[in-house]
Amino acid sequence: MPRTCTICKHPQRLQIEKALVIGTSVRDISGQYGPSKTAISRHRTHVKETIARSADAQESVRTGALLDDVRAGERRAEHLFENAEEIRIAALRNNDQRTALQAIRTGSAVLGETRGYLSLRGELTNELGRDRQPAAMAIQIICPGSTGELPRVSFGSADAIDSAPEESCVQEIGLIQR
């Protein structure tokens, strides 16, 4: 008859499981609550789903915090660009070509920084879709049945091309669209 897990019967089970979920070392848990390190390690399998959900939640929180930082950077860059634009307009009114040119250079640099923030935000939110699989494309060349006809060529997604009549010779070339 299998033995019942000692941690499952332990009076401080909830505290031990909470410590496991937040990533406290098995040695530290053993020292604090008393059960052996091996008993705690065996019990970890009972709460592995909770640990996985906790890791996902922590990753989500980390991504959210990073996303907030990126959005704050975007707002700062937008504010800097507006300031550079105001300086450029004022410089042109005062016929100060040198300051206007410097404001244009600064605005251009700020736009580059903004592009970096937008790219990072797209990576974090998966708006860029870089993890999508490219569409499979195919070219189908169907030889004519008689000598006076020209070959027919089809190009499109691999599953959208019509099948060729059986009496003609067919060549298909598979491609990956990038």
Q: Which two tokens stand for residue 45?
A: 């399998």
Query: What is the reported pLDDT for 177?
Result: 47
| Cα separation, 124 vs 128, whole angstroms | 9
Q: Which two tokens stand for residue 163?
A: 């099948």
Query: What is the residue-averaged pLDDT of the chain?
Result: 75
In contact, 177 and 135? CB cutoff 8 Å: yes
Terminal Cα distance for the chain, rounded:
59
Q: In this prediction, what percent of the chain has a pLDDT beyond 90?
A: 10
Q: What is the pTM of this model?
A: 0.42
pLDDT classification of 151: cutoffs 50, 70, 90: low
